[in-house]
Structure 1
Amino acid sequence: MVPMVPVRTVVAACFLLLLAECRARIHKLTLKNETRFVVDLNNFGFYANGTLDVNVLSLRLPERLVNYSAYPVGFTLSRSRVNGVLSYTAEETETCPLTLTKFTNNEPLILFLIDVNTLSVSVRAMGDQDNLLIAKPKAEAPKGLRKTRDVPATVTADPPRKPSTTGGNGAQGPDQQLTQKDEDAASASPEHKSEPAVQATKVEENEFQLEKLKQVTLALDKVNGSYNFSFHMVVGLLAEGLYSLKFHYCQNRVPGIKIPYSLAVEVTEKNPGGYLSAAEIPLSRLYIGMAGVFFTAALVWVYTLMKHRYSVFKIHWLMAALAFTKATSLVFHSINYHFINTEGHPIEGWAVMYYITHLLKGALLFITLALIGTGWAFVKYILSDKEKKIFMIVIPLQVLANVAFIIIESTEEGSSEYYLWKEILFLVDLICCGAILFPVVWSIRHLQEASSTDGKAAMNLEKLKLFRHYYVMIVCYIYFTRIIAILLKVTMPFQWQWCYEFLVEVSTLIFFVLTGYKFRPASNNPYLQLPLDEEDVEMDEVVTESGVLEGISKVKKTCNGRERQKESTL
């Protein structure tokens, strides 16, 4: 018998979601005693007027003195040149990005350098900038600088332009912006040439239109030994793209040094249409549309089974169950993305239903592929011991892969467990895909041997051709969904990343349709017909072409000449 998915596994997968701290596109990450020198907080595709809110709730650094000029601590916000490729090159990542003083390309890069000695956050803008930064300026100006307001904001390059009020929801009123009169006065002052001008208003927040090589200083608060600050950024029309937010602790890059720190940060990204990234916005409509296609295909398959009910095997109904489960999973997936887009987080009930159907779909898919690959019902009805071992290995691994997927979906990207489970999922998925090919290879070898030893060579060669085609189909499906589609995703523009999911779903549909066509329960299907002569039939071969008598076999006997003569007389 084929091992079934334990109910407790499904229940455990549900609790994994309920106990997770992930809030989808409203991310809240807490790290304690962390020693990584870089933490990838999140990746998000922004359209124009998209907003990024970062709230550092608590940052605890070692009490011993750290040379922050040589080993800075802070955040980087970079836009990718191409999807999956960060704006700074591989050579540049060998050193801490926070120490960069010049940029070799024009891609936007914003550095947030934290200085606990002066309680300030220095913001450096590099590349072509078109973003509006809204944040609390530093409350006190450094000594020796001219104050023009009671609450200054330091500008060490060009004085800030008057920001556009059309930059998004975070735009401030005219009384909160730097006036043109103040800018002219600062630029006309003789002191402006030798020292940076400081301009701000008496408000808690201020706007900074980021420009190339511009630097502003924000306030850093200290409460009970932990540091916190926040900022709000509105993405400009010329700066839209896929952005990566990272935290850097540069001293841990030094070999042999692992200084622990703690970080609690809340990140909220939003596009004008909702909380989904640019590449995820079409997914809800895509999944519900593909669900309708799979439901239609499943109904056509059931109609075919009812039309040819006398040629139907049990595995045909298993294929129908797989198609319906796949369609149901896509429906819940679409609903899940809809609520993430509108609410910023999934509704737990719908999310649990999606994870359950996703787990069942994955298990049914590999069970069906393995049964068809072994030739069960089409060539033989008894699984050998080594084929049973394949089921005992592949099915639990596939359940583990689905549980790993659920954990990844419920874990923040910046946590160390995220990358661990991502590697586990990738490895287990490759093992399952490789192991599922063994039954097909065994069936091909079995048919090759049978075609050369018995009198049914023509029929065995037809079935041999079928399983060779099926083997090629599985290999093409695995390569396309696991390798080629991912490569296409990397090379696509950020707003077209959803095409990756579209290609995967279409290739899955084509694979299902071809499999159903090859093994359709039709009386005129040459692959399912059995020889009509009275030759000996092997022990493990089905003796009827009708699914009604599935499982009935004929025992192979050795007849001498007298017995054959007696049979001919009868």
Structure 2
Amino acid sequence: MAVSERRGLARRSPPELGQRLLLLLLLGGCSGRIHRLALTGEKRAHIQLNSFGFYANGSLEVNLSVLRLGLPVTEKNAPLVGFSLTRVRSGSIRSYSTQDPYDCPLSKNSSNLLVLFLIDTKDLRVQVRKYGEQKKLFISPGLLPEAPSEPGPPTPVHTVMPKVDSGTTTALEKAKSKPTVSQEDQQGPSENKELVLGLGHLNNSYNFSFHVVIGSQAEEGQYSLNFHNCNNSNPGQERPFDITVMIRERNPEGFLSAAEIPLFKLYMVMSACFLAAGIFWVSILCKNTYKVFKIHWLMAALAFTKSVSLLFHSINYYFINSQGHPIEGLAVLHYITHLLKGALLFITIALIGSGWAFVKYVLSDKEKKIFGIVIPLQVLANVAYIVIESREEGASDYRLWKETLFLVDLICCGAILFPVVWSIRHLQDASGTDGKVAMNLAKLKLFRHYYVMVICYVYFTRIIAILLRVAVPFQWQWLYQLLVEGSTLAFFVLTGYKFQPAGDNPYLQLPQEEDEGDVQMEQVVTDSGFREGLSKVNKTASGRELL
């Protein structure tokens, strides 16, 4: 997505949500693993640009093309700005998330920081400070060539220095003439190594570029790149600034992060599993002689929609891995099928839980209110997902949409449980009043099983899977998606088995015609006076009727 288009989307108001969604679908959404972020009038002190899992010989390229601080540069108030590269233990925890939000990581040494890029706007240079024992982390100015190169440390021949005007040549020459290791760092216990990069200055805007190569397996891990403007750390004293940055991340196998490399095959296999389950379910519906309800075909549509959504998701990851961005048309199809899948899933769960089409054809007022809440919330949740996929992690509204998606999803998961609870209460009351105790108890037992299934599905996909993602190493975080899709498939299969069209299924049994016939016959006999004085009692085990 172009920078100007991203700026326009950031300024849209909530009433234009539908137009924004349509625009996102037409533009194709996510730009893949080649990130381009442009922020104007930004006031945040800390910006989380991106997080990526690197294998050995992986590379990180950063090109800061525009940086306007809006603050006059003097000797007394030189702005303290720069980048920090940190190594995190998991994909969902940031190394500085527990720090004081008003504390600046650039002003002091920290064990969580690996590399600091301190932008010195006065001397027009960038000081690169390395912390810890990261001896195989190669940092050089400029960007890597577009053509894929052989694995190993980069050569200085391919580096590209930033553009500068004639007034900065002297400052750059002074920066290059300084020693690469300062005396202060030599005396420190962490053996910090300091490099100096050139900083370009043109039309009140600063620019420079650098790249980092992971040299060995000891440096493999999840890395987080952040931008800091410590002048905005004090509340009430924020000054707006503009920044435009391009980030390109690579692994030896492509543009995907270490945890995302297996997702192409995973989603393809799961798509085939859901497709096979849908075909098997349709074959059961076609061959079954018992009555098939509309809800059965809705369950089949859900399985096929889920399969198509995973197929497009897999293809998107394939093109992101090879080209750094998805194909726009396939991305649009993925978003459409994902929206339909999310809506059909919660609608189907709520309809089955309410007993619609099986034992009744009219929803109660309470159930209608639940559907009126769940369906719009599901649309909002899918819109939030699409917006998150199309926005960069460092965008101003990225965290807002992410929190909105999480909250709405939890509300929907809680709301779909109400129809099942109401059905259980109704069966409990009916089991002791209408005389059909055995049938109602069987249905009650089935509803309780379904309630437990829904609880387990929500619990595993929303809680256990997230905890697993935090606990496992960075290269095994794809197990999160495996657990989510595997539990979804198991939930689909168990739901189909519980509510399949069969004669002995207590959920599908209608009132027995034999009992109604006996009642009518007894009324006819009594009214006609035939066999007056006789009474009908239960049959014995031998089948004889006692009079």
Distance 2:76 2:279 in 1: 65
SS at match of 2:24: helix
Aligned residue for 1:126?
131
Aligned residue for 1:38?
46
Tell me which moved more, 78-87 or 478-487.
78-87
Tell me which moved more, 250-259 or 123-132.
250-259
Are residue 271 (structure 1) and residue 277 (structure 2) matched?
no
What is the CA deviation profile of residues 428-460 of structure 1, one whole-angstrom value per residue up to 9, with x for unaligned ones? Answer: 111111111111111111111111111111101
Matched letter for residue 223 of structure 1: L
What is the CA deviation profile of residues 329-354 of structure 1, one whole-angstrom value per residue up to 9, with x for unaligned ones? Answer: 11111011111111110100011111
The TM-score with structure 2 as length reference comes to: 0.82
Match of 2:285 among 273, 283, 305: 305
Aligned residue for 1:213?
192
Are residue 235 (structure 1) and residue 204 (structure 2) matched?
no
Are residue 362 (structure 1) and residue 342 (structure 2) matched?
yes
- Once the two structures are TM-superposed, the CA of residue 535 in structure 1 deviates from its matched residue by 5.9
SS at match of 1:311: coil
The answer to whether the Cα contact below 8 Å between 1:167 and 1:234 also exists between their aligned partners in 2 is no
Are residue 287 (structure 1) and residue 293 (structure 2) matched?
no
Aligned residue for 1:204?
none
Aligned residue for 1:183?
none
Q: 1:375 to 1:117 in 2, by over 3 A?
A: same
Aligned residue for 2:58?
50
- Once the two structures are TM-superposed, the CA of residue 479 in structure 1 deviates from its matched residue by 1.2
Match of 2:359 among 379, 385, 392: 379
- Once the two structures are TM-superposed, the CA of residue 293 in structure 1 deviates from its matched residue by 0.8
Matches within 5 A, 1:308-323: 308-323=288-303
Aligned residue for 2:13?
none
Match of 1:168 among 152, 156, 159: 152
Aligned residue for 2:536?
none
SS at match of 2:397: helix
Distance 2:201 2:316 in 1: 39
Distance 1:171 1:438 in 2: 63
Distance 1:427 1:474 in 2: 18
Matched letter for residue 193 of structure 2: K
- Once the two structures are TM-superposed, the CA of residue 301 in structure 1 deviates from its matched residue by 0.7
- Once the two structures are TM-superposed, the CA of residue 197 in structure 1 deviates from its matched residue by 3.2
The answer to whether the Cα contact below 8 Å between 1:362 and 1:398 also exists between their aligned partners in 2 is yes
Matches within 5 A, 1:164-563: 168=152, 170-172=154-156, 197=179, 212-237=191-216, 238-532=218-512
SS at match of 2:359: coil
Matched letter for residue 315 of structure 2: I
The answer to whether the Cα contact below 8 Å between 1:124 and 1:214 also exists between their aligned partners in 2 is yes
What is the CA deviation profile of residues 89-143 of structure 1, one whole-angstrom value per residue up to 9, with x for unaligned ones? Answer: 7247662111123x44xx6610011111111111110022121111169xxxxxx
Are residue 117 (structure 1) and residue 125 (structure 2) matched?
no
Matched letter for residue 141 of structure 2: A
SS at match of 1:372: helix
What is the CA deviation profile of residues 447-500 of structure 1, one whole-angstrom value per residue up to 9, with x for unaligned ones? Answer: 111111111111011101111111111111111101110011011101111110
Distance 1:174 1:16 in 2: 36
- Once the two structures are TM-superposed, the CA of residue 417 in structure 1 deviates from its matched residue by 1.4
Q: 1:95 to 1:385 in 2, by over 3 A?
A: same
Aligned residue for 2:6?
none
- Once the two structures are TM-superposed, the CA of residue 253 in structure 1 deviates from its matched residue by 1.4
Distance 1:395 1:175 in 2: 53
SS at match of 1:453: coil
What is the CA deviation profile of residues 274-320 of structure 1, one whole-angstrom value per residue up to 9, with x for unaligned ones? Answer: 11111000101100001111111111111111121432111101101
Structure 2: unaligned runs, 5 residues or longer: 1-15, 144-148, 161-176, 182-189, 532-547
The answer to whether the Cα contact below 8 Å between 1:14 and 1:352 also exists between their aligned partners in 2 is no
Distance 1:524 1:89 in 2: 56
Matched letter for residue 216 of structure 1: L
The answer to whether the Cα contact below 8 Å between 2:28 and 2:329 also exists between their aligned partners in 1 is no
Q: 1:568 to 1:446 in 2, by over 3 A?
A: farther
Q: CA RMSD in A?
A: 3.1
Distance 1:461 1:20 in 2: 52
- Once the two structures are TM-superposed, the CA of residue 403 in structure 1 deviates from its matched residue by 1.1
The answer to whether the Cα contact below 8 Å between 2:34 and 2:325 also exists between their aligned partners in 1 is yes
SS at match of 2:72: coil
* Matched residue count: 483
Distance 1:564 1:126 in 2: 99
What is the CA deviation profile of residues 530-561 of structure 1, one whole-angstrom value per residue up to 9, with x for unaligned ones? Answer: 34256689xxxxxxxxxxxxxxxxxxx9x9x9
SS at match of 2:179: coil
Matched letter for residue 96 of structure 1: C
The answer to whether the Cα contact below 8 Å between 1:50 and 1:235 also exists between their aligned partners in 2 is yes
Matched letter for residue 138 of structure 2: L
Distance 1:480 1:567 in 2: 64
Match of 1:28 among 36, 39, 42: 36
Match of 1:63 among 71, 92, 100: 71
Match of 2:103 among 95, 104, 108: 95
SS at match of 1:233: strand
The answer to whether the Cα contact below 8 Å between 2:141 and 2:159 also exists between their aligned partners in 1 is no
- Once the two structures are TM-superposed, the CA of residue 88 in structure 1 deviates from its matched residue by 5.0
Distance 2:447 2:159 in 1: 75
Matched letter for residue 499 of structure 1: L
Distance 1:385 1:313 in 2: 22
What is the CA deviation profile of residues 1-55 of structure 1, one whole-angstrom value per residue up to 9, with x for unaligned ones? Answer: xxxxxxx999964531334775221100000110111111101111111111100
Q: 1:394 to 1:322 in 2, by over 3 A?
A: same
Q: 1:198 to 1:252 in 2, by over 3 A?
A: closer
Matched letter for residue 204 of structure 2: G
